[in-house]
Amino acid sequence: MKPIKVGLLGIGTVGSGTFNVLKRNQLEITRRAGRSIEIAMVADLNVERARELTNGECEVVNDANLVVSNPDIDIVIELIGGYGIAKDLVMKAIANGKHVVTANKALLATHGNEIFKAAEEKGVMVAFEAAVAGGIPIIKALREGLTANRIQWIAGIINGTTNFILSEMRDKGLDFAAVLKQAQELGYAEADPTFDIEGVDAAHKATIMASIAYGIPMQFDKAHVEGITKLQASDIRYAEELGYRIKLLGISKRTEDGIELRVHPTLIPEKRLIANVEGAMNAVLVHGDAVGATLYYGKGAGSEPTASAVIADLVDITRLATADPEHRVPYLAFQSNSLSDLPVLPMAEIVTSYYLRMHVADKPGVLADVTRILADLTISIDAMLQKEPAEGETQTDIIILTHQTKEKNIVAAIEKIEKLDSVFGAVTKLRLEELS
């Protein structure tokens, strides 16, 4: 059978990994795909570098439009990133009848609905395994392996940069800026690292997983997004004293009223496997009604780990290219005419447990005032830690862990607690998930 021809847009970190792995494992991949997969054309702004990387083995151009309009190209791999030129090129490739593989979670989380609609109308495939958790085949697991299940919740460490930063800060006492620089040098961080540290990248990935898990359209605009930039070293320390680790989690949950979709630093019991995922590693915990909890772990970023997922998509498309579109796996796991209108819940309605830290006067009655406010709002306390004031100090920290309650109750309680004369400054609120 004649080889399937691939056009690669962007030969940076992931693009070069894809080129190299495809070349290195060509024989094995052909045996699996049933057909040879050849990168016939590469587009990159830096043509010199692209020529060096591809060693004269394929045509190199600097105008990506030449690739998406080339009639000989069967599959376009978009590895440019962002939602400007990348979106135009993906839409043009689809309009020209080409299958698309992309690692671009930002593009899919924000414009996925439009892209999938266009692809469906054209009868082409859009594959995106690399867009979530890099080399971990989590899209395949959710879309195919767990297809029998009603997914109840997903909680994932899905941003390597922030997990790397949190791990290095905790273990080596390094400061935030130095670790971020290291993550950038290692190729983990996005072109704009604010996407990593402010939780946006994780929210893109959580949005994509939620769509596939619950059969809802992509709704990134409804996700709650909170990064790690405001996290204090003291909270990491106090959490440890109470037996918890703090991780940036992407969480989605099915409830009777709708779907919770949120990214924020989260306390997790230190005995959970996912609490011990360190460095740039990713892990996703999925709870299905039939299977129970399943955990997926591996490298969520980097050149070849991400290439592994890109090439898996190439093989999938190669295998299915001749199948009629109705018999392929639907993009969002559910048939496009069966997506549900289950709402994504506002943050005030989500239910979880909380860690509260407040700086208070060390005098009788303070704790009673605080606990009365919590009790009035039916918030029950699970654990408490009161630090001895430092020598000569008259103020101290109180840390309270609550049982589950609605976010709006905690917000109301904090408003009242902050008004107490004996409480100084803002109350720090972190969410806590037992993940049991």
Among all residues, which ones are annotated catalytic?
205
Beta bridge partners of residue 48, listed in sequence order: none
- Give the strand pairing for 75-78 and 99-102: parallel
Q: Which is nearer to ligand HSE, 90 or 345 (CB)?
A: 90
Backbone angles phi, psi at 302, to 5 degrees: 105, 160
- Comparing CA positions, the residue from 165, 287, 155, 289 lying closest to residue 236 is 165
Nearer to ligand HSE, 73 or 208 (CB): 208
Both tokens of 385, joined, read: 């830690």
Q: 3-state DSSP call for residue 366?
A: helix
Task: Transcribe 75-123 into DSSP letters.
Answer: EEEE-S-SSSHHHHHHHHHHHTT-EEEE--HHHHHHHHHHHHHHHHHHT
Rounded least distance, CB 10 to ligand HSE, Å? 14
Write out the two tokens for 390: 């430092």
Q: Which residues contact 218 (CB under 8 A, 6 or more apart)?
A: 108, 109, 110, 112, 113, 207, 208, 211
Q: Which is nearer to ligand HSE, 42 or 283 (CB)?
A: 283
User: What is each CA distance from 94 to 103, 182, 238, in whole angstroms?
Assistant: 16, 37, 52
Residues contacting residue 221 through CB under 8 Å, at least 6 positions apart: none
385 contacts: CB under 8 Å, gap ≥ 6: 238, 241, 242, 398, 399
Stretch that binds ligand HSE, among 167-175, 183-191, 323-331, 386-394 (CB under 6 A): 183-191
Please give the Cα distance from 426 to 292 (Å, whole number): 39
CB of 45: closest distance to ligand NDP in angstroms?
4
Q: Which does 108 bind (CB under 5 to 8 A by kind): ligand HSE, ligand NDP, none?
A: none
Smallest distance from the beta carbon of 423 to ligand HSE, in angstroms? 37
Residue among 133 and 401 whose Cβ is closer to ligand NDP = 133
Smaller CB separation from ligand NDP, 140 or 431: 140
Q: What residues from 196 to 225 belong to the interface with ligand HSE (CB under 6 A)?
A: 196, 201
Q: Which does 196 bind (CB under 5 to 8 A by kind): ligand HSE, ligand NDP, none?
A: ligand HSE
* Binding residues for ligand HSE restricted to 108-137, rule: CB under 6 A: 134
- Per CB under 6 A, the segment of 144-152, 186-194, 235-243, 412-420 that binds ligand HSE is 186-194
By CB under 6 A, is residue 300 in contact with ligand HSE?
Answer: yes
Strands 4-9, 37-43: pairing kind: parallel
Query: Site residues for ligand HSE, window 368-427 (CB under 6 A)?
Result: none
By rule CB under 6 A, what count of residues binds ligand HSE?
A: 11
Q: Does 159 bind ligand HSE (CB under 6 A)?
A: yes
Q: With respect to ligand NDP, which residue has the nearer C-beta, 48 or 376? A: 48
Please, what is the minimum distance in Å from the beta carbon of residue 50 to ligand NDP? 7
Task: Choose from ligand HSE, ligand NDP, none: what does 81 bind? Cβ within 5-8 Å by kind.
Answer: ligand NDP
Select from ligand HSE, ligand NDP, none the partner in contact with residue 79, using the beta carbon and a kind-dependent cut-off of 5 to 8 Å.
ligand NDP
SS3 content of the chain, % helix, strand, coil (to 5): 40, 25, 35
The count of other CB atoms within 10 Å of the CB of residue 174 is 15
**Positions that interact with ligand NDP (CB under 6 A):** 9-15, 43-46, 64, 79-81, 85, 103-104, 130, 134, 187-188, 190-191, 301-302, 306
Return the residue nearest ligand NDP (CB atom).
12
Q: Are 269 and 243 in contact (CB under 8 A)?
A: yes
> Judged by CB under 6 A, does residue 318 bind ligand HSE?
no
- Count of alpha carbons within 13 Å of 81, Cβ hemisphere only? 13
Residue closer to ligand NDP by CB (options 205, 222) is 205
161 binding ligand HSE? (CB under 6 A):
yes
Which listed option, ligand NDP, ligand HSE, none, makes contact with residue 189 (CB within 5 to 8 Å by class)?
Answer: ligand HSE
Of the candidates 160, 227, 258, 288, which one interacts with ligand HSE according to CB under 6 A?
Answer: 160
Coil, helix or strand at residue 365: coil
Closest approach of ligand NDP to the CB of residue 51, in Å: 13
Minimum CB separation of residue 231 from ligand HSE in Å reads 17
Q: Minimum CB separation from ligand NDP for residue 230, in Å?
A: 24
Cα–Cα distance for residue pair 136/300, rounded to 1 Å: 7
Provide the sign of the torsion angle of the four alpha carbons 189, 194, 200, 202, taken in this order: positive
Q: Is the dihedral of CA 150, 280, 83, 51 positive or negative?
A: negative
Q: Is 330 in the site for ligand HSE (CB under 6 A)?
A: no
User: Smaller CB distance to ligand HSE: residue 159 or 422?
Assistant: 159
Binding residues vs ligand HSE (CB under 6 A): 134, 159-161, 188-190, 196, 201, 300-301
